[in-house]
Chain A
């Protein structure tokens, strides 16, 4: 079974631009979560989607948004990029057959975003 895939793997943008990252979960997985990883703040939860609905949101400004499609693929968008948005963005999927939390999340390789 293929793992979680993320595209693109690397991105360079300039301040003020917007960016869209894509995540394809493991086949059959219904939950997709996004995390931001930086050297200073570590791994921080952005949001989670389950059956096309955002169920959880971390403490990030409204410039960070996402969505999930009917095939469980998810996209994350960051508008008006700032230098501090430079990070590794990780996507994780889980089966979540029961809809509850605590199931293992499987991570993709990440998208490394550099904002200049």
Chain B
């Protein structure tokens, strides 16, 4: 069965600090997809990144970077030089390679960036 764990329930940092959000997943499939979403106070889930299981290259997008390691079943997300606008709940999600869209979400990590 597929499962996503985000062990950090809440994190508080001061603006300009770097912060890493952890995501550990479980799946029996060899083909799967991992996602990160941001949920600001408005409630809408904002897509950040999609990664398939065959692409272990790390990715950087501006202040955001992702570290995918199949050996440890982890897909961690780092925000460099955090800003107050980064304050939100961040969700990691897993989708196995079968017919039908059925994302399994982690419980989320609430990030508070203090000025």
Contacts and interface: CB of A to CB of B under 8 A. Distances in A.
Chain A interface, >50% SS class? strand
Contacts of A108: 44
Of the four ranges (under 10, 10 to 19, 20 to 34, 35 or more), the interface on chain B belongs to 20 to 34
Given A42-B108, A43-B91, A105 B44 contact: no
Contacts of A94: 101
Contacts, number: 77
Nearest to A58: B102
A105 B97 CA distance: 14
Interface string B33-48: 1010100001111110
B104 interface: yes
Interface in B58-99: 91, 95-99
B20 interface: no
A101 B95 contact: yes
A55 B99 CA distance: 8
B96 to A, nearest CB: 7
Given A42-B106, A48-B101, A101-B98, 17 more contacts: A35-B103, A43-B103, A45-B102, A92-B45, A96-B101, A101-B95, A101-B96, A102-B31, A102-B33, A102-B96, A104-B35, A104-B47, A105-B101, A106-B47, A107-B47, A109-B44, A110-B44
Interface of A: 31, 33, 35, 42-43, 45, 48, 50, 55-56, 58, 88, 90, 92, 94, 96, 99-110, 112
- The 4 residue pairs across chains A and B that have the minimum distance between CB atoms: A56-B100, A102-B33, A107-B45, A43-B105
